[in-house]
Amino acid sequence: MRVVVLTGAGISAESGLATFRGAGGLWEGHAVEDVATPEAFARDPALVHRFYDMRRPRAKSAQPNAVHRALARLREVHDLTLVTQNVDDLHDRGGANDVIHMHGRLDGALCAGCGHRWPAPESLAGLLCPARGAKEARPDIVWFGEMPYEMDRILAALEACDVFAAIGTSGQVYPAAGFGRIAAQAGAHTVELNLDRSAISRDFHEHRIGPATETVPAWVEELSARA
């Protein structure tokens, strides 16, 4: 069976990492929409670096949970395309390989000048690109107004899948929020696993409400039995 899974901040919440739009989603009074833009970085790079420098060690010390491990097992029985909006590496450390990090990675640095990418040190503030040294380093994160990574591969998988699942995402950020509709229109069975109904619940045939660490392992077991 061809399965596409999209994950969001809700699955890392149970590893202790804050979501973007829940309680505590504001950082120093800023919504993510105020700091995660190229314009914010041009206006105040120190502020934007502080936001990411603070989150990098938190993500590093967080541990994968039952959701990350269950999705790694799913790959062993089905043809899985695992797409995450999350910029932590918990899927990777939870045993999944070939994870599509469509919004980039916290542990990466990017040169806006030449596109060179390299592992991020503890802080990127004031660093120059090691390839050409001409431009300041920025986090390898997809900000609002920028094209997410690997869209061609994601869209091809959505068009061809039998099952699409969105897990722990509020459905407020596009293009990811449109994946359920694309998959359903292409004939897939669509399922949403979330604490609550989201902004895009209507695009799903099936809803499993509850903490992802409970709903996802059970769903993976059911799907694995159908291999």
| Binding positions for ligand BJW, rule: CB under 6 A | 8-10, 13-14, 19-22, 32-33, 36, 85, 87, 103, 141-148, 151, 168-170, 172-175, 194-196, 198, 211-212
Cα 23 to chain centroid, rounded: 19
Nearer to ligand BJW (CB atom), residue 170 or residue 190: 170
Give me the least distance between CB of 137 and ligand BJW, in Å please. 16
Give me the least distance between CB of 157 and ligand BJW, in Å please. 15
145: left (phi over 0), alpha (psi -120 to 50) or beta: left
The answer to whether 20 and 9 are in contact (CB under 8 A) is yes
Give me the least distance between CB of 176 and ligand BJW, in Å please. 7
H or E stretch covering 156? helix 151-160
Active site residues: 103
Nearer to ligand BJW (CB atom), residue 133 or residue 175: 175
Give me the least distance between CB of 133 and ligand BJW, in Å please. 26
Nearer to ligand BJW (CB atom), residue 34 or residue 136: 34
Nearer to ligand BJW (CB atom), residue 118 or residue 149: 149
**Distance in angstroms (rounded) separating the CA atoms of residues 177 and 153:** 16
Q: Roughly how many angstroms between the first and final C-alpha of the chain, as a whole number?
A: 7
